[in-house]
């Protein structure tokens, strides 16, 4: 995985990105979606994110092997400096450092945008099963996130109830007069 490069996603990448996401919907409780989105819906999701935030892909041998993006934490203006992070990797690329590279690249961009708080919403299980382990929690801990909330049995999928945790990482200073958030389109 030493030749992995990062770049901004485009709507032309939607099919490859959706192919990575699909197994998480169909075969796991990592995503609480029940149905795989259509290519049109997924393309629209990418376009909407790119209006304000980065949506990056990891590429190896001209193939997308993972992606990460952020979205608004909440829609109110007071929350502008906080975002929700999301990451998915191709099934055969997990545990090889690609996720760390994606998140570190994402953090660099977010710092330039003046984002301060990174929040991750993660499915959590009290007993590992075929649909969910707590690997995502451990991944985020490894990257400096800490658990700030725990919701009990709030997601139901594959005949099981799952908890949800929120983890947070602070990447900037909470000053009295924070710099305004710069849309991703103004950084490029």
What pLDDT is attached to residue 93?
A: 81
Q: Say if residue 9's pLDDT is above 80.
A: yes
Query: Which of the two residues, 113 and 61, has the higher pLDDT score?
Result: 113
Average pLDDT over residues 34-48: 97
Nearest to 113 by CA among 58, 46, 179: 179
What pLDDT is attached to residue 188?
A: 66
In a domain, 46, yes or no: yes
Which residues lie below 8 Å from residue 32, measured CB to CB, with a gap of 6+? 123, 155, 157, 162
121: β partners: 166
What pLDDT is attached to residue 3?
A: 87
Cβ proximity of 50 and 152 under 8 Å: no
In a domain, 121, yes or no: yes
In a domain, 186, yes or no: no
In a domain, 43, yes or no: yes
In a domain, 184, yes or no: no
What pLDDT digit, counting tens, does each position of 120-131 carry?
999 999 987 899
CATH label of the domain that carries residue 39: 3.40.630.30
What pLDDT digit, counting tens, does each position of 65-89 carry?
999 999 999 999 999 999 999 999 9
Q: Determine what percent of the chain is predicted with pLDDT higher than 70.
A: 98
What pLDDT is attached to residue 138?
A: 96
**What is the C-alpha separation between 116 and 97, in angstroms, rounded?**
24
Q: Say if residue 1's pLDDT is above 60.
A: no
What pLDDT digit, counting tens, does each position of 156-187 carry?
999 999 999 999 999 999 999 999 999 999 98
Nearest to 123 by CA among 56, 10, 12, 25: 25
What pLDDT is attached to residue 97?
A: 84
In a domain, 30, yes or no: yes
Query: How many domains is the chain built from?
Result: 1
Tell me, yes or no, if the pTM score tops 0.85: yes
In a domain, 188, yes or no: no
What pLDDT digit, counting tens, does each position of 87-115 carry?
999 988 877 789 999 999 999 999 999 99
**Torsion-angle region of residue 64: left (phi > 0), alpha (psi -120 to 50) or beta?**
beta
In a domain, 187, yes or no: no
Instruction: Find the domain containing 87 and state its range.
Output: 5-178
Residue 188 token pair = 């490029």
**What are the start-end ranges of the E strands in 14-159?**
55-60, 63-72, 82-89, 117-124, 146-157
**What is the C-alpha separation between 40 and 67, in angstroms, rounded?**
18
What pLDDT is attached to residue 2?
A: 65
**What is the C-alpha separation between 164 and 132, in angstroms, rounded?**
12
**What is the C-alpha separation between 55 and 69, in angstroms, rounded?**
4
């Amino acid at each position: 995985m030493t030749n992995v490069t990062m770049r901004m996603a485009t709507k032309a990448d939607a099919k490859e990105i959706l192919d990575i996401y699909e197994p998480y919907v169909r075969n796991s409780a990592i995503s609480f979606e029940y149905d795989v989105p259509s290519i049109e819906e997924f393309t629209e999701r990418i376009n909407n994110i790119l209006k304000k935030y980065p949506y990056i892909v990891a590429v190896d041998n001209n193939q997308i092997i993972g992606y990460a993006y952020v979205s608004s934490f909440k829609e109110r203006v007071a929350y502008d400096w906080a975002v929700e992070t999301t990451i998915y990797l191709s099934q055969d690329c997990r545990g090889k450092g690609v996720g760390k590279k994606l998140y570190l690249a994402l953090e660099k961009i977010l710092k330039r945008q003046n984002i301060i708080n990174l929040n991750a919403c993660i499915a959590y299980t009290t007993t590992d099963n075929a649909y969910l382990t707590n690997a995502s929690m451990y991944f985020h801990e490894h990257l400096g996130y800490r658990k700030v909330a725990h919701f009990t049995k709030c997601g139901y999928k594959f005949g099981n109830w799952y908890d949800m945790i929120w983890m947070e990482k602070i990447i900037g200073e909470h000053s009295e007069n924070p710099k305004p958030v710069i849309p991703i389109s103004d950084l490029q």
